Chains A and B, each alone.
Chain A
Amino acid sequence: MPSSFFKPTLRYLVSLIVVAVFVFPIAWFGLTSIKPISAVFNKDRVVVFDFKPTLENYHVTVLGGEKASMVGGQSASMGTSGKGAYDGRGSILSSVIIAVASTFLATAIALLAAYALSRMRFWGAQGYLNWVLSQRFLPPIAIIIPLVFIFHDLGLRDTHFGIIIAHTLINIPIALLLLKSFFDDVPVEIDQAAMIDGATRFQCFYMVVLPMIRGGIAATAVLCFIFSWTEFILSLFLTNTIRTIPVKITTFVTSTGSEWGYISALGTAAIIPGFIFILLVQNHLVRGLTMGAIKD
């Protein structure tokens, strides 16, 4: 039968094409980042592969090196000072600090609440969960304007701590619902046995149940990290000088032209940590993306 050969081969080929279409924008972006500027802006030959690859864009944006050539004339007309306007080191450091700290904070406090909601029966538990869930539905824009005022009054405007709080806030609903679904997987009998042996609730949580859901905690942490790492609107409104990577990249678009070399270099670099982390938690990815509603 020809179909026994053709069908699998055809399926493989179609899959390959589909995946290629989805990988293409990233590949093109990555390719742009190692092109010399003359090859990027060449409108007569859009698809070029015979260029001499250069790491200059990474040298400038990731390592903070001097730029050898200027494109678009007055590229110094940025909001920040001209020299070092394309130096992304501060942004990378800020993004790492903010993502790590907010991931830690969100996971830690969500663990406590998720445990109580999974294990204790109390009045209003379902209502509480719905309230937390409704936070996930909250458009950031609805809280940003007052947050600007509140942060100003508390001295949190344009501080790392302020953005950490804001990112923790948006990660709480996902972390809490996801962790609760992992706690729900652990039989209640385990807690009961530990408490009969004389453990307090907290000891039972910390020493018995927590180690059992390590994989789930790791998956939650990875998702929180990615959400914080890619977040844009809160960082845009709540900071002026501290720039996370996504906000920093948008400042490379100027009225005199876009620095595509620098944009693509910093952008490509920003994708790498997320992709490594997401590969580590493939098993729990679907559960994470649906806040624990679909178990895998």
Chain B
Amino acid sequence: MAAQAKSGGLPRWLTSEHPLPWLFPVTSLLIVFGLYPVLYSLWLSFYKRNPATRTEKFLPSFNWNKLIGDDRVWDAVQVTFTYAVIALSIQLVLGMLIALLLDSDRKGFGVFRALMTLPLVVPPAVTGMMFLLMYDSSFGVISNSLYALNLLSPDKPILGTGSTALWGVIVADVWQWTPFMVLIMLAGLRALPREPFEAASIDGASSIQSFFFLTLPMMSKIIALAVLVRGIDLFRIFDYVKVMTDSGPGTATETLTAYAGTVYFKSANFSYASTVALATLILVLVVSTVFIKIFKIRF
């Protein structure tokens, strides 16, 4: 009634009483630059590129068959999972431990918590550079410390050796994103009710018991959410690999996104690069959907 009186002749769906005008800008942007490119990618993936003539031929199954039979793809999937699982586990455990440590109202701890957010604002490409500098085999401070401790020999540079390169990249990721976990865990710890813990300590529970039987179960939702948000970013990892190792040595640190980038830049095979990129998207969507369903996460 009031809405009709104020609409001033315009159809209702053009007035602010209807959701359409409110949603229009976001929707059009997401369709034109988000949804359309994904469909475009799919369409590209249906074309077979002939590198000699630089022409494309419509052959829907070609690139997808090539993907299934491409060992580098399976290697990349393995690297991606290894990277994501190791980095996520370390960040989760370390994040929880540091949150427990810094969850104090004593003087100085506020400054500690503020300083812990510092790594979050460093551009990941710059983080890659910081660690490249510290890993440098001749004057890097980390490398030289490891030489001094006899944990590393100078003829096996951290990022130049197949067995350690991925760990080198993971350390940079852990440095940058553990603070993210710390912040979320701190928020979770601060939201916990006091009464169960008081009751438990009266009943004689140790602090370790209350952690495992009270803190962890009560924070399960928050932990699941943190794992989801971080996990998705880990599956899309590109910046550190590109800056620090450029997938090397060989393909030791080649993740799926890095492989798609390599196909794009080095062989200019856009249709196959799109196929690999779409495979990443499918992987992320499947893993995250399953995770959201299992842990019933709602935004």
**A290, B116: Cβ atoms closer than 8 Å:** no
Taking CB atoms, residues of chain B closer than 8 Å to A46 are: 139-141, 144
| A-B pairs with lowest CB-CB distance, top 9 | A274-B121, A116-B22, A146-B40, A230-B123, A246-B125, A201-B16, A143-B37, A202-B16, A146-B37
Within 8 Å of chain A (Cβ to Cβ): is B83? no
**B175, A150: Cβ atoms closer than 8 Å:** no
**B115, A23: Cβ atoms closer than 8 Å:** yes
The complex places the Cα of A135 from the Cα of B102 at a distance, in Å, of 34
Q: Given A22-B178, A270-B126, are A113 and B44 also a contact pair (CB < 8 Å)?
A: no
Taking CB atoms, residues of chain B closer than 8 Å to A25 are: 119, 127, 130-131, 134, 175
Q: By DSSP majority rule, is chain B's interface helix, strand, loop, or mixed?
A: helix
Chain A 1-32 interface 0/1 with B at a Cβ cutoff of 8 Å (1 = within): 00000001001101110110011011011001
B232: contacting residue among A137, A172, A271, CB under 8 A = A137
| B224-256 with Cβ < 8 A to chain A | 225-226, 229, 232, 235-236, 238-239, 242-243
Which of B46-54, B84-92, B162-170, B281-289 contacts its partner? B281-289
Chain B, residue nearest A154 (CB)? B32
**B119, A177: Cβ atoms closer than 8 Å:** no
A-to-B contact residues, CB < 8 Å = 8, 11-12, 14-16, 18-19, 22-23, 25-26, 28-29, 32, 40-43, 46-47, 109-110, 112-113, 115-117, 120, 122, 125, 128-129, 131-147, 149-150, 165-166, 168-169, 172, 176-177, 195, 198, 200-202, 205, 226, 229-233, 236-237, 245-247, 249-250, 253, 258, 260, 263-264, 267, 270-271, 274-275, 277-279, 282, 285-286, 289-294, 296
The complex places the Cα of A140 from the Cα of B242 at a distance, in Å, of 14
Taking CB atoms, residues of chain A closer than 8 Å to B127 are: 25
**A285, B222: Cβ atoms closer than 8 Å:** no
For residue A35, give the distance in angstroms from its CB to the closest CB of chain B. 11
Within 8 Å of chain A (Cβ to Cβ): is B58? no
Chain B 153-195 interface 0/1 with A at a Cβ cutoff of 8 Å (1 = within): 0000000000000000000000100111001101110000000
For residue B148, give the distance in angstroms from its CB to the closest CB of chain A. 10
For residue A60, give the distance in angstroms from its CB to the closest CB of chain B. 17
**B184, A289: Cβ atoms closer than 8 Å:** yes
Taking CB atoms, residues of chain B closer than 8 Å to A125 are: 19
Q: List 6 A-B contacts (CB under 8 A).
A: A22-B116, A22-B175, A23-B115, A42-B139, A278-B117, A286-B183
Taking CB atoms, residues of chain B closer than 8 Å to A282 are: 114, 117
B274: contacting residue among A110, A120, A145, A292, CB under 8 A = A145
B26: contacting residue among A23, A112, A205, A277, CB under 8 A = A112
